[in-house]
Amino acid sequence: MDERTRRNHLLVWLLLLGLLGLNIASSFLDLGIFNPILTTAVAALQAFIIVTFFMSMRSAAPVPRIAAAAGFFWLLLMIGLTLTDYQTRFEDIALGRLASKPGWEAPAAGRVPNPLSESGYSPVSRPPTLAAAAPDAASGERVYASVCILCHARGVGGAPRTGDKAAWLKRSEQGVDTLVDHAVNGYKGMPPKGGHPELSEQDVRNAIGYMLYAAGIQSPRR
Amino acid sequence: MAGMDAVSDTPLLPQASTLAERVDALFFTLVGVDVVMVLVLSGLIVGFAVHYRRGARVNRTTDAPETKTEIVWSLGLLAVFLAIFVWAAHLYVEEASPPNNALEIHAIGKQWMWKFQHQNGRREINELHVPLGVPVKVVLATQDVIHSFFVPAFRVKQDLVPGRFRTVWFTPSRIGRYHLFCAEYCGLDHSRMRGRVIVMEPAEYEAWLADVSAEPSPAQGEKLFSSLGCIACHGAGSKVAAPPLAGIFGKPVPLKGGRTVIADETYIRDSILTPEKQVVAGYEPIMPSFAGRVNESDLTRLIAYIKSLSGEEGRP
Amino acid sequence: MAYRNAIPTPPGAEAKPAPQFDSLRQQYEADTLGMWIFLASEILFFGGLFMAYVIYRAAYPEAFEAASGRLDLLLGGINTAILLTSSLTMTLADDAVLPRNRKALIGWLAVTALLGTVFLVIKGVEYSVEFAAHLAPIFGRPFDFPEPHTEQARLFFSFYFALTGLHALHLFIGIVVVLIMLALAIRGVPRLEAKVTIAGLYWHLVDLIWVFVFPLLYLAAHHG
Amino acid sequence: MTADISVRKNYLNRDYSIASWLTTIDHKRIAWLYLVSITAFFFFGGAAATLIRLELATPAGDVVETETYNRLFSLHGIVMVWFFLVPSIPATLGNFLIPLMIGARDVAFPRLNLLSWYLYVIGGTFTLAMAIAGGVDTGWTFYTPYSSLFANGQVVLAVVGVIVAGFSSILTGLNFIVTVHNMRAPGLHWTRLPLFVWANYATAIIMVLATPVLAITLLLIALERIFGIGIFDPKVGGDPVLFQHLFWFYSHPAVYIMILPGMGVVSEIITCFARKRIFGYDGMAFALLAIALIGFLVWGHHLFVAGESVYAGVIFSLLSFMVAVPSGIKVFNWAATLYKGSVSFETPMLYALGFVGLFTVGGLTGITVAATAVDVHVHDTYFVIAHFHYIMVGGMVMAYFGGLHFWWPKMTGRIYPDRWGRIAAITIFVGFNLTFFPQFVLGYLGMPRRYHTYPDEFQLLNVLSSAGAPVLAIGYLLPLVYLLYSLKWGPVAGPNPWDAKGLEWQTPSPPPEHNFDRLPVVTQEPYAYGLPKRDSDAARS
């Protein structure tokens, strides 16, 4: 084992450890979106170094090189094409913009809410037997669709109408916790929990969150 | 769903929405292109095969310029298909963008039935009444697995993905009753998760919508009894240990813990909303609470049905 | 980098390629190409999980950062250093084969296997800590995480156990392969060049996968 | 003449013991092992299909319970896709012929080849165990959250069976790539490679790059069911559409795994029986690779209505239309190959021409469903079922039978009764069209797929389709009979009964265990049939 290759390998090893240190250090800085990009780029560099030096790709025949490159290329191809779906899921709001003016003002540009984050649905986690147990609390949108819609859709009895930004803005000033408290214990025309005692407080909080988002209020005060 | 009446007057696949004509136009253009291509190619194949069959004395010196014809053929193919792509994509984007003044109806897909709720809270199961000529936007949500809202007559389809709200919209353009299918496999009774879309005159629709207090009839109760899943346990031949309901109305019912109570309307109401409070002697408290799943009119219909089971004629 | 161009048949033992090959060189090229194609399929095997992780992290950035904060960065960092070092020792073992330096070959192979085992031990320690802290959503065990991100944190830890579990399984297979090479080297089996290089390629792949797993899972959070 | 066969040592009569078959590393014997196991699975899946067609003859579900029906179509899907279509041509004809066609003694990794058959059998045993233990009712697509949270069937058994069969397919692909790269006979440059080898090479690339994604996706379902972790569980924020992305990233290239080898077989057959050089060899080879590569970009067209964003739908639709170009080139070139040839109509040629006809219909309806607006209406209906059956049964199975008949003399040294062969080919063609063409109409009328009962107005077309099924079944049983018959009583076939051009025909049939007595040297282009080309050297006709 001639001395030169051995020294080379030690140098490569030190370089890899250095990059690892850099990666860990970078995670202590708050660079926002650049953190994941930087760490992945450093990892890719480490990978490239390992492939070229330790896996003797430098001296290999062309065909194994193509095979190695194909593995990574196909992975990027798969991720890239799938992202065309996930990064363009603006649901109805954007689509509204496509055809004509949307029903309610589109929320603040840029941060279009990904409905996935308010997901949640209600099956039993284990496969249901014949007597399917009653599903438990639904997500904000679903609670709204099954309960709150009765009054809030058309503002029955003075209730703030869904999508009426002014009414909801005035109420969101009091902070979400007060809104939840009013909704749970009943307030003026509204029966406690909208007449559905079986709703949990988290459901009511989700439903209020949905109505705020539908009214275009992005980050109401706590 | 067994009593689905065959709709005699409507043709096999009516064009019942403004979209239907345009999708049909695109589809039959494509079919036309396909037929022409098949005829051209099979014509070539059969023609060459017969003309140049073994033993036929024909001129066989080959001089066809190979790559040139291929390129011309491929580019022609590509041009035709790109034109069709643009037409289809245009229709697809429009199909996915509901007008904002559309009448919004909420739909919930649940394993093997459809539940619809109109703006004024009127609910219906496995049937969807929509007004003629008014764009309707159905907001779809599912409570368990992936279903798919498919109305062939409107040429629309949209999967219901758990965890998200999906929308499908159409503008009915023809009066009648049309099939509603679940198109994505969703379990045991996927093939029975069918319903009807009933297109009505707008005035008729408003009247139907306002008539919230429709008389609770045992028949509607029976439909609810099966769609809510009660029949799964209380029906005959069910493997689950659940108290039989035939003939219990008005009779004393022994409860766990020694109490006995008369099975009147409040008893049935409470057993549906809070079953664990009054468990029949000799049974386990496995019945789930249906609170939040049934509203007042459903309850009255169910009670009417259970009454009809015990020979007591429910209110007409 | 044992094999580069023509392989001089070592003096003495008459090397004979497998029946379907014409020459040793053709056999070596076929073996290397075969392993690289297998590595490409492994990259895509883990790629499916990487893609799912990237998609969910884009959907729930805050939840994943909060959950990643609960991982032990120190142990993770040490483990990564160990695996990088094991890649070095594997390469040194590979270098020792051609000049027939048996002592160095056995030494470096043993160190590589040892480093792999240490990695698995540290991983086991990490797992036990996480199991105790109710962070393992497996077999319906209790999973508690502060309120705003409970659900998505469960998703993160599902990924954490799926990714690190699969990697640990592949590492275990890698250790077995290196131990087999060690046994062959100790028994003095001639012409190990091809086998050690191929084993090395697989080992480096397992290290390569961890190089991507570590930043994605551990460095997602803002420490400090 | 028959004496001559038994005297000369060949790969079949070398050793008759069971052990010699179960531990063989001879690519020709492994091809036979695959052939037998694949035929078994083909009739197993076929039986499920016949039962399904029988059930669908009546609107009401009166032949089998709903539960059983759901498990039948799932079983039909799983068995046919992974245990018949994916391995059929590559593992049987490919294993047998590629080493012969490139002048090699065996594939690059013979032991790996045997391991790949054992993995296939182990996967098959898991699937049989799943079927016996109750089967699954998730369909062959295993969509979550039904398969991971709600299905009560043996999902884990089914998933493990498919993963193991997937690894068998990866190893076969790996073997072929290395064999074609490393072990070609002297003089056999890439431009002289027979199109059958090109087709299996392109298929091998897809097998190696797509199957691992299927393995991880199905493994995640198994993990969800066993450990309860939730990667696709919407309750914790998982997205079922992500499962569909991962599943179809494999499953669309998989349909090209199924069809590309068929194209290779048809190119060999048409050139031989038209006695004419293939029209546009470079175009055909390019088209094979192009289909393999573009095949990886188009999977999104399965999700047009599944919850994908509109933008992604439009992008995937555009890419799906691109696949039409290479397919168009292939079909055009086959037709053009007949031009100025001298065409004869033995059984393999009937199957090949049947393939070209039915594949054209299948391909064109594929383009029809690639148009987004049309797919919204016909997705998950019988239109889609008819489309992919035209490609897989009309295309793939016809090519498989054609290839089987074309190389049967080479594999067994016997010739089958050609008259019966033609009858079977025509029966299959008629039975197939009668079974699947009504389903196009049924699909556009809106009958959804996987329906145990259906509205009454769809019955007529369903009865028509069910009437075709027995005809098709008979068509498939005929070859089983007369091919086995030919093993004992068929006339002896010389090394080259069809007077075809190709290295595999330059060795006696059945070939000796080491394939070639003296190493062949390739001096001319692959299909030197018919009249000499003006400029190239005079080809020995």
Residue-wise pLDDT for A2-21, tens only, equals 788 889 999 999 999 999 99
Please state, in angstroms and rounded to a whole number, the distance separating the CA atoms of residues D360 and D363: 5
Domain termination site, one of B159, B181, B212? B212
Q: What is the mean predicted confidence (pLDDT) over D310-318?
A: 93
Weakest mean pLDDT among A161-170, D339-348, D514-523: A161-170
- Does the pLDDT of residue D477 top 80, yes or no? yes
| Residue D294 confidence (pLDDT) | 95
| Residue A146 confidence (pLDDT) | 61
Distance in Å, alpha carbon of A133 to nearest chain D alpha carbon: 13
Pairing of strands B156-160, B166-170: unpaired
The Cβ of residue C141 has, within 10 Å, a number of other Cβ atoms equal to 12
Residue B203: inside a domain, yes or no? yes
| Residue A162 confidence (pLDDT) | 72
| Residue B211 confidence (pLDDT) | 75
Peptide bond into D510 cis (omega under 30): yes
- Does the pLDDT of residue D108 top 90, yes or no? yes
| Residue B154 confidence (pLDDT) | 95
- Domain A94-123+135-214 listed as CATH 3.40.50.300: no
Domain termination site, one of B192, B212, B232? B212
Residue B65: inside a domain, yes or no? no
| Residue A198 confidence (pLDDT) | 64
* C-beta atoms of D297 and A117 within 8 A: no
Which has more confidence, D129 or A193? D129
Q: Residue B287 has what DSSP assignment?
A: P
Contacts of C94 in chain A (CB under 8 A): 56
Q: What is the mean predicted confidence (pLDDT) over B190-205?
A: 92
- Does the pLDDT of residue B292 top 50, yes or no? yes
Looking at the fold, whether B38 and B186 belong to one and the same domain comes out as yes
Q: What is the mean predicted confidence (pLDDT) over D523-534?
A: 68
| Residue D329 confidence (pLDDT) | 92
Question: Nearest to residue A143, comparing CAs of A206, A215, A213?
Answer: A206
Q: What is the 3-state secondary structure (H, E, C) of D7-42?
A: HCCCCCCCCCCHHHHHCCCCHHHHHHHHHHHHHHHH
Please state, in angstroms and rounded to a whole number, the distance separating the CA atoms of residues D8 and D10: 6
pLDDT tens column, A16-39: 999 999 999 998 888 888 888 999
Q: What is the mean predicted confidence (pLDDT) over D409-418?
A: 93
Question: Nearest to residue D212, comparing CAs of B207, C21, C214, C48?
Answer: C48
Question: Nearest to residue A142, comparing CAs of A100, A202, A189?
Answer: A202
- Does the pLDDT of residue B253 top 50, yes or no? yes
Contacts of C208 in chain A (CB under 8 A): 47, 50-51
Contacts of C60 in chain D (CB under 8 A): 237
All structural domains of chain C, each given as residue ranges with its CATH number in brackets, are 24-218 (1.20.120.80)
Chains touching D (3+ CB pairs < 8 Å)? A, B, C
Q: For residues B3 and D330, is the Cβ–Cβ distance under 8 A?
A: no
Pairing of strands B136-142, B103-110: parallel
Weakest mean pLDDT among A176-180, D229-233, D393-397, D523-527: A176-180
Q: Where are the beta strands (DSSP E) in chain B?
A: 103-110, 113-117, 123-125, 127-131, 136-142, 147-151, 156-160, 166-170, 176-182, 195-200, 252-254, 260-262
Tokens at D443, concatenated:
């699909």
| Residue A133 confidence (pLDDT) | 27
Q: For residues C157 and C143, is the Cβ–Cβ distance under 8 A?
A: yes
Distance in Å, alpha carbon of C82 to nearest chain D alpha carbon: 27
Please state, in angstroms and rounded to a whole number, the distance separating the CA atoms of residues C201 and C43: 13
Q: What is the mean predicted confidence (pLDDT) over C150-156?
A: 88
Looking at the fold, whether B200 and B255 belong to one and the same domain comes out as no
Distance in Å, alpha carbon of B266 to nearest chain D alpha carbon: 35
Confidence of residue A202 (pLDDT cuts 50, 70, 90): confident
Give Dmax (Cα) for chain C: 72
- Does the pLDDT of residue A136 top 70, yes or no? no
Distance in Å, alpha carbon of A123 to nearest chain B alpha carbon: 5
Tokens at D300, concatenated:
């999104």
Q: What is the mean predicted confidence (pLDDT) over B85-114?
A: 89
Confidence of residue A147 (pLDDT cuts 50, 70, 90): low
First and final C-alpha spacing in chain D: 26
Distance in Å, alpha carbon of D263 to nearest chain B alpha carbon: 16
Looking at the fold, whether B178 and B125 belong to one and the same domain comes out as yes
Peptide bond into B172 cis (omega under 30): no
Q: Alpha helix (H) ranges present in D274-371?
A: 281-294, 310-322, 324-338, 347-370
B258 touches chain D (CB under 8 A): no
Looking at the fold, whether B177 and B122 belong to one and the same domain comes out as yes
Looking at the fold, whether B123 and B16 belong to one and the same domain comes out as yes
| Residue B64 confidence (pLDDT) | 64
* C-beta atoms of D296 and A82 within 8 A: no
* Strand arrangement, sheet containing B195-200: B127-131, B195-200, B176-182, B147-151, B156-160
Q: Alpha helix (H) ranges present in chain A?
A: 3-26, 34-49, 62-86, 91-99, 140-143, 149-152, 165-172, 176-185, 201-214
Which has more confidence, C102 or A137? C102
- Does the pLDDT of residue D197 top 60, yes or no? yes
- Which of A82-96, C7-21, D417-431 ranks highest by mean pLDDT? D417-431
B19's CB contacts (< 8 A; 6+ apart) are: B91, B95, B154, B155, B156, B170, B171
The Cβ of residue A59 has, within 10 Å, a number of other Cβ atoms equal to 10
Residue B66: inside a domain, yes or no? no
* C-beta atoms of C59 and D209 within 8 A: no
Confidence of residue B6 (pLDDT cuts 50, 70, 90): very low
Q: What is the mean predicted confidence (pLDDT) over C114-130?
A: 95
Confidence of residue C112 (pLDDT cuts 50, 70, 90): very high
Q: What is the mean predicted confidence (pLDDT) over B264-287?
A: 74
Confidence of residue A129 (pLDDT cuts 50, 70, 90): very low
pLDDT tens column, B66-78: 778 888 888 999 9
Please state, in angstroms and rounded to a whole number, the distance separating the CA atoms of residues D531 and B63: 11
| Residue B316 confidence (pLDDT) | 34
Specify the amino acid at residue A32. G
| Residue A86 confidence (pLDDT) | 86
Which has more confidence, B55 or A216? B55
Distance in Å, alpha carbon of A164 to nearest chain B alpha carbon: 15
CB pairs C-D closer than 8 Å: 115
Domain count, chain B: 2
pLDDT tens column, D66-96: 999 999 999 999 999 999 999 999 999 999 9
Distance (Å) of CA D84 to CA C154, D75, D78, D88, D195: 39, 12, 9, 5, 22
Weakest mean pLDDT among A184-188, B186-190, B217-221: B217-221
* C-beta atoms of C48 and D208 within 8 A: no
* C-beta atoms of A120 and B163 within 8 A: yes
For chain D, the average pLDDT equals 91
The ipTM of this complex is 0.83
Q: Alpha helix (H) ranges present in B52-97?
A: 66-95
Question: Nearest to residue D83, comparing CAs of D50, D51, D36, D115?
Answer: D36
Contacts of D361 in chain B (CB under 8 A): 34, 38
Specify the amino acid at residue A16. L
- Does the pLDDT of residue D539 top 80, yes or no? no
| Residue D502 confidence (pLDDT) | 86
Looking at the fold, whether B105 and B245 belong to one and the same domain comes out as no
Chains touching B (3+ CB pairs < 8 Å)? A, D
Confidence of residue A105 (pLDDT cuts 50, 70, 90): very low
Contacts of A127 in chain D (CB under 8 A): 149-152
Weakest mean pLDDT among A162-176, D81-95, D214-228: A162-176
**Does chain C touch chain D (at least 3 C-beta pairs within 8 Å)?**
yes
* D359: nearest CA partner in chain B: B38
Looking at the fold, whether B182 and B284 belong to one and the same domain comes out as no
| Residue A196 confidence (pLDDT) | 64
* C-beta atoms of B60 and D341 within 8 A: yes
Chains touching C (3+ CB pairs < 8 Å)? A, D
| Residue D151 confidence (pLDDT) | 87
CB pairs B-D closer than 8 Å: 265
Looking at the fold, whether B204 and B229 belong to one and the same domain comes out as no
Which has more confidence, A115 or A50? A50
Pairing of strands B113-117, B103-110: antiparallel
- Does the pLDDT of residue C4 top 50, yes or no? no
- Which of A162-166, B105-109, D196-200 ranks highest by mean pLDDT? D196-200
Distance (Å) of CA D210 to CA C163, D34, D205, D214, D247: 19, 22, 8, 7, 10
CB pairs A-D closer than 8 Å: 64
* C-beta atoms of B233 and A130 within 8 A: yes
Specify the amino acid at residue A176. V
Which has more confidence, B3 or D514? D514
* D146: nearest CA partner in chain A: A127
Q: What is the mean predicted confidence (pLDDT) over D188-194?
A: 92
Q: What is the mean predicted confidence (pLDDT) over D504-531?
A: 84
| Residue C209 confidence (pLDDT) | 95
Residues of D with CB under 8 A from a CB of A: 145, 149-152, 181, 209, 213, 228, 230, 233-235, 237, 239, 241-242, 245, 249, 296-297, 300, 303, 308-312, 315-316
Please state, in angstroms and rounded to a whole number, the distance separating the CA atoms of residues D388 and D375: 14
| Residue D53 confidence (pLDDT) | 95
Which has more confidence, B20 or B232? B20
Specify the amino acid at residue A108. A
Confidence of residue D444 (pLDDT cuts 50, 70, 90): very high
Kindly write down the DSSP assignment for every residue of B138-197, as one continuous string: EEEEESSS-EEEEEGGGTEEEEE-TTS-EEEEE-B-S-EEEEEEE-S--STTGGG--EEE
Using DSSP's 3-state secondary structure scheme, residue C69 falls into helix
Q: Is D417 exposed, middle or buried (0-12, 13-18, 19+ CB in 10 A)?
A: middle
- Does the pLDDT of residue A161 top 90, yes or no? no
- Does the pLDDT of residue D378 top 70, yes or no? yes
| Residue D7 confidence (pLDDT) | 67
Contacts of C140 in chain D (CB under 8 A): 228
Residue B70: inside a domain, yes or no? no
Please state, in angstroms and rounded to a whole number, the distance separating the CA atoms of residues A204 and C68: 29
Using DSSP's 3-state secondary structure scheme, residue D322 falls into helix
Q: What is the mean predicted confidence (pLDDT) over B75-89?
A: 93
Phi/psi region, residue A163 (left: phi>0; alpha: psi -120 to 50; beta: rest), is: left
Name the CATH architecture for the domain at D19-506. Answer: Up-down Bundle (1.20)
Please state, in angstroms and rounded to a whole number, the distance separating the CA atoms of residues D86 and D253: 11
Select the residue of C20, C33, C55 nearest D105 (Cβ to Cβ): C20
Confidence of residue A208 (pLDDT cuts 50, 70, 90): confident
| Residue D530 confidence (pLDDT) | 63
Phi/psi region, residue B181 (left: phi>0; alpha: psi -120 to 50; beta: rest), is: beta
Please state, in angstroms and rounded to a whole number, the distance separating the CA atoms of residues A17 and A25: 12
Please state, in angstroms and rounded to a whole number, the distance separating the CA atoms of residues D5 and D1: 7
Q: For residues A134 and B289, is the Cβ–Cβ distance under 8 A?
A: yes
Distance in Å, alpha carbon of C111 to nearest chain D alpha carbon: 30
Q: Residue B225: which domain range?
A: 218-309
* A7: nearest CA partner in chain C: C92
Q: Alpha helix (H) ranges present in C15-72?
A: 24-59, 61-69
Looking at the fold, whether B264 and B177 belong to one and the same domain comes out as no
Q: For residues C47 and A78, is the Cβ–Cβ distance under 8 A?
A: yes
- Rg (chain D; Cα; Å): 23
pLDDT tens column, C28-71: 889 999 999 999 999 999 999 999 999 998 888 888 999 999 99
Q: What is the mean predicted confidence (pLDDT) over B34-56?
A: 91
Domain termination site, one of B195, B212, B229? B212
| Residue D261 confidence (pLDDT) | 96
Weakest mean pLDDT among A192-201, B17-26, D429-438: A192-201
Distance in Å, alpha carbon of D187 to nearest chain A alpha carbon: 20
Please state, in angstroms and rounded to a whole number, the distance separating the CA atoms of residues D422 and D351: 9
| Residue A96 confidence (pLDDT) | 34
* C-beta atoms of A23 and C73 within 8 A: no
Phi/psi region, residue D53 (left: phi>0; alpha: psi -120 to 50; beta: rest), is: alpha
Distance in Å, alpha carbon of B43 to nearest chain A alpha carbon: 40
- Does the pLDDT of residue D186 top 60, yes or no? yes
HSE-up of residue C6 (Cα within 13 Å, Cβ side): 2
- Which of B118-132, C190-204, D394-408 ranks highest by mean pLDDT? D394-408
Q: What is the mean predicted confidence (pLDDT) over D129-150?
A: 92
Buried b (16+ CB within 10 A) or exposed e, A169-208: eebbeeebeebbebbbeeeeebeebbebebbeeebbbbbb
For chain C, the average pLDDT equals 88
| Residue A103 confidence (pLDDT) | 27
Weakest mean pLDDT among B212-221, C186-195, D241-250: B212-221
